[in-house]
Chain A
């Protein structure tokens, strides 16, 4: 069975500082990894994905994530946080079989303070 762990319920960071939201996963075979962001009372918005290729993936709004196979991690990062980045972030994984479901982590609330 595949699983995703986001060990932090909440991450607090000051505006302008770098941010990291952690994600580790477990899946059979090669992983497809995703990050989504959710603003209050909204659906999920796609940020970025790793399928294959470079381990460092760049996505929307200046976010990036690094795939680390040995540590089975896919941490989300941004060099300089904005107050508007405050939201709920979900990491998700699926195996490379087309029929595999997407499994979500529990979510991490990012709070960026001015």
Chain B
């Protein structure tokens, strides 16, 4: 099946620094990628939808200046958490939708961010 690679899987940073998380579709082209945030024991919350070559669409309540999303190519989207604070600590998951098919999403393994 299709593979989505997410890197890094774990990252620890100091408060005030910025962290970049990459999401790559390894064997297919993804015109659309999605970024989710998951709090402990909770479901996934859609943060934003990233379309290749255009600005991301953010969900209500998600700060676009805080969570910078770039989708520069059909196989790569990045999420940058700027000026991270401890409350940004979470599990971030990306998914990619293939350009063709039934719209099934393929998920990355997730990135656990811990802000000290």
Contacts and interface: CB of A to CB of B under 8 A. Distances in A.
B109 interface: yes
7 contacts: A43-B4, A43-B109, A44-B44, A45-B107, A46-B104, A46-B106, A49-B102
Interface of B: 1, 4, 6, 34, 41-44, 46, 49, 91, 93, 95, 102-110, 112
Interface residues of A, number: 22
Nearest to A51: B102
Q: Which of B42, B43, B102, B110 is most buried by chain A, counting CB atoms within 10 A of its CB? A: B43
A98 B93 CA distance: 21
Nearest to A44: B107
B62 to A, nearest CB: 14
B42 to A, nearest CB: 7
Contact of B107 (A32, A36, A41, A49): A36
Interface stretch (A64-72, A77-85, A99-107): A99-107
Nearest to A100: B103
Given A43-B6, A107-B42, A94 B103 contact: yes
Contacts of B108: 43
Given A43-B6, A101-B49, A107 B107 contact: no
Contacts of A107: 41-43
A105 B34 CA distance: 17
Given A36-B107, A43-B6, A45-B107, A105 B43 contact: yes
A46 B42 CA distance: 18
B110 to A, nearest CB: 4
Given A42-B110, A101-B46, 14 more contacts: A41-B112, A43-B6, A43-B108, A46-B106, A49-B104, A90-B44, A94-B103, A101-B49, A102-B105, A104-B43, A105-B43, A106-B42, A107-B41, A107-B42
